[in-house]
Amino acid sequence: MLKRFFENRIGVVGLAIIVVCLLVAAFAPWLAPHDPLAVDISLQGMEPSEAYPFGNDEFGRDILSRVIWGTRISLGISFFSVIFSLGLGVTLGAVAGFYGRTVDNVIMRAMDATMAFPAILLAIAIVAVMGSNMFNVVIALGIVYVPRFARIIRGSVLSLKSREFVEAAVALGASDAAIIFRHILPNCLAPLIVQTTAGFAYAILAESSLSFLGLGAPPPAPSWGNILSEAKDFMLDNPMMTVYPGLAITFAVLGFNLLGDALRDLLDPRLR
């Protein structure tokens, strides 16, 4: 499987982009040439130079350092929101698919109601009610994307729970929890892995959108979205202020999408 993955150039490129983003986030304190929060009005709106390769923003802060530190915040919020939605969505989907009937109807109608709202609008509403901080953004994005995981796992569980190996586990006296988490869910990993990579891409875009609207990481903490938001008023004077965080968002989302496409092809038995 690893050999076939590394023969897929698209997947390798996507993985390389993700690894670079993770390394930048992990080593941000050492990679950033300046303090991302240091204000120097004398450098306000300066063009790129040798000391400041990406230039300076309206407060004289180094844009390169802010983009590097923004990688840590944007990817961190996206990671924890996907983990939250993955854990809750898998649990709800597995319970709904395994028990069926009333339990299935209650859980899946709640998921349908959640999906009836546009994802970004629902996230905005949740953050507006709970307050704007990074923890609440994680909760909001996690809730928004729970139905995506729940529906995928429910469908997989429905197709697996009548298989012979599940009947054998029931005949041996295995508990419901053991059957779900030990026998059924391991066979749902292929679609779950693909959805998780897509979930990271969606979460990065959603977090950037919330930060752009002022509902994400509170200033002066840098994230890609609020760097874009602060730079939008200076697009005519210095358009490059918006290009750098925009490229960071683009490459991160592209990396997860390319990796997801490669994993889908790798894990789909019909394409082997």
* pLDDT given at position 269: 59
CATH architecture of 19-26+61-271: Orthogonal Bundle (1.10)
pLDDT level of residue 30 (50, 70, 90 thresholds): very high
pLDDT digits (tens, 9 = 90+) for 57-97: 888 899 999 999 999 999 999 999 999 999 999 999 999 99
* pLDDT given at position 271: 57
pLDDT level of residue 7 (50, 70, 90 thresholds): confident
* pLDDT given at position 143: 93
Segment 12-38 shows an average pLDDT of 93
* pLDDT given at position 108: 92
Residue 272 has pLDDT above 70, yes or no: no
DSSP string, the chain: -HHHHHT-HHHHHHHHHHHHHHHHHHTHHHH-SS-TT---GGGTTPPP-SS-TT-B-TTS-BHHHHHHHHHHHHHHHHHHHHHHHHHHHHHHHHHHHHH-HHHHHHHHHHHHHHHTS-HHHHHHHHHHHH-SSHHHHHHHHHHHHHHHHHHHHHHHHHHHTTSHHHHHHHHTT--HHHIIIIIIGGGGHHHHHHHHHHHHHHHHHHHHHHHHTT-SSPTTS--HHHHHHHHGGGTTT-THHHHHHHHHHHHHHHHHHHHHHHHHHHH-GGG-
* pLDDT given at position 90: 92
Segment 166-176 shows an average pLDDT of 84
What pTM, to 2 d.p., does this model score?
Answer: 0.89
pLDDT digits (tens, 9 = 90+) for 95-148: 999 888 898 899 999 999 998 888 888 999 999 888 888 899 999 999 999 999
* pLDDT given at position 133: 84
